[in-house]
Amino acid sequence: MTHDNDQHLHEKYKKTLKREKRFVFSWQIIILISFFGLWELASRMYWIDPLIFSSPSEVYTVLVENFSDGSMLAHTQVTLFETVLGFLIGTILGIIMATILWSSERFSKIMDPYLVIMNAMPKVALGPIIIVAMGPGYLSIITMGAIISVVITTLVVYSAFREVDPNYVKVLKSFKATRGQIFKEAIFPATIPAMISTLKVNVGLSWVGVVVGEFLVSNEGLGYLIVYGFQVFDFSLVMSSLILIAIFAALMYKIVERIEVFLIRHTR
């Protein structure tokens, strides 16, 4: 009888979660449609300047035309390649650096003030230096995408390593576990949620780094199209590029969410 009751409560809880997800998703769609609808109305009624702010219908026309001739697809592929690579490099390097800091308490104390200073430094301002050092190409733009997220990843993940319940470590030490075994069995699995949270932040940071890099040096990519649109006063092209960036950033965020669910499910 108790088992049946528990099963009933569990099913009821799952239905409540599904209803909540549907409710949240419905409101997200309503807000999105309302935004584009209000934007279109404001442009048509001249509440905003349609030349500067364009309109969803005009943006749609520009996207269809540019994807039809292949130009927008080529620029999108370049930016996606640079962003994904910068995102992965920045995240992986940050986790490696955090692991090195955790492995040596003395080294972490030495590096602490430098990490704080590096985090406070405006990474975008380093763009011209990076471009001069590495040349005006993919490498400098990918570096921009990586460098903007690597320090914050290091700080957040290292902080998560240090905040793991010390009782886990004590239990493993009582079984003569090495520091590497402690990290593998307790520290790393316990900090996966923090790493996933960092990944979500890094999605936005990587896009910022890459697009700024394209502003400065590139002759292709969505960042280049934004600059070109401003230069020729084609704000529909600018808005089209911004909307594509928003769409792909949202898709990357959703992929990270899927990874989060998978990792949490398989590390419990």
What pLDDT, on a 0 to 100 scale, did the predictor assign at position 239?
93
pLDDT of residue 65: 92
Ordered per-residue pLDDT tens for the chain, 268 residues: 555 666 666 677 778 878 888 898 899 999 999 999 999 999 999 899 888 888 999 999 999 999 998 889 999 999 999 999 999 999 899 999 999 998 888 888 888 888 888 878 777 777 778 888 887 778 888 888 888 888 888 888 888 888 888 887 788 878 777 878 888 888 888 888 888 888 888 888 888 888 888 888 778 889 899 999 988 888 999 999 999 999 999 998 888 888 877 776 765 5
Residue 29, pLDDT score: 92
The two structure tokens encoding residue 50: 């349609």
Taking the domain 58-266, which CATH number applies?
1.10.3720.10
Return the sign of the alpha-carbon dihedral for residues 41, 42, 46, 49. negative
Let me know: does 151 contact 119? Beta carbons within 8 Å: yes
Nearest Cα to Cα of residue 37 among 23, 57, 53, 22: 57
User: What does the pLDDT read at residue 267?
Assistant: 59
Q: Which among 199, 142, 189 is positioned nearest to 164, based on CA atoms?
A: 189
Q: How far is CA 226 from CA 220, 230, 244, in A?
A: 10, 6, 11
- In this structure, are residues 208 and 148 in contact, taking their beta carbons and an 8 Å threshold? yes
Residue 6's pLDDT is 60
CA distance 216 to 127: 8
Q: Where are the domains of the chain?
A: 1-48, 58-266
pLDDT at 5: 62
